[in-house]
Structure 1
Amino acid sequence: MSDGVAVPHNNRPHLYVCVSCRCRGAEPAPEGEPADGRRLYETVKALADRLGEDAPAQILPTLCFANCERGCSVGIAATGKWSYVMGELTPEHAADLLIYATAYAKAKTGVVLPSGRPASLQTSVIARFPAPFEPAKDAAE
């Protein structure tokens, strides 16, 4: 996944994976089996763990992006960058999410145009929102 441009561990984006999601149109997981979102999280996390320090993002579980009608959802965010919510994902998108996270980490503002994303993620963005405003410090301080 790496092309020699490492992202410092403490500056890595956070990739949040909803562990309660189910794939669009899917039935709830049978009793005792993990939800589709949990399987997506576990797959992405396992791939990232194999990359160790070269992983492009910190993979974190979360509950409900309130995007249930759009299937499994993830969010990506980093300090000073646009944040994104993506949907209509399945556990099969795990490797492509890490490729996308690599491009996001390298992008100064976090903007990765559809042409810069894996084909499976080109239409998956649901929403984006800007980094929190940080007022300029007063020169007298």
Structure 2
Amino acid sequence: MDSNPAACETGQSGNRTSGTTIIVCISCRDASGSDAHPRAGEKLAEDARRAAAGQPVEVRTVECLGNCKRRLSASILHDGAWSYVFGDLAEDSGADLVTGACQLANAEDGKIPWRGRPDSLKRGLVARIPPLTLLKDQS
């Protein structure tokens, strides 16, 4: 985990981080499968909120991302960019998610760059989903 997320800045493409959202699954349990509350997903969401303080990144929660075999799960979305789903995260991966969100917002090609991406977001990649605008351009 990177304890100091990169500050969100305007990238070379002029993108701004507004519109960048981290979604955390709050129903995810820890590795033991315990039903104790707060659940591990709730702890990850709170860690992401702390890491995002002062950054133009929004942290939201959902009940389930459907990635239970690779819990803890979260996704990063940015308007007009690729969306990412991650699993195998830790309760203290919030700073990594914020770093990834900032990297996505500033990426000229709409993809989180591999270089500089936190290790947890390299190991934990579940899916990369193209933006609808890309698909509409192909029809």
Of 16, 19, 24, which residue of structure 2 is paired with 1:12? 19
Aligned amino acid, residue 116 of structure 1: G
Of 29, 39, 52, which residue of structure 1 is paired with 2:43? 39
Change (3 A) 1:62 1:109: farther
- Residues 58-67 or 115-124, more deviating: 115-124
Change (3 A) 1:82 1:4: closer
| Alignment TM-score, normalising by the size of structure 2 | 0.79
Q: Give ranges in structure 2 of 5+ residues lacking alignment.
A: 1-5
- Residues 88-97 or 65-74, more deviating: 88-97
Show the counterpart of 2:33.
27
Distance in 2 separating the partners of 1:56 and 1:89: 22
Structure showing greater radius of gyration is: 1
CA contact (8 A) 1:56 1:98 kept: no
Higher normalized helix content (fraction of residues): 1
Change (3 A) 1:20 1:114: same
CA contact (8 A) 1:44 1:94 kept: yes
Q: Give ranges in structure 1 of 5+ residues lacking alignment.
A: 137-141
Aligned residue pairs: how many? 128
**Pairs within 5 Å for 1:57-76:** 57-76=57-76
Two-structure CA RMSD over aligned residues (Å): 2.2
Aligned amino acid, residue 42 of structure 2: R
Show the counterpart of 1:80.
80
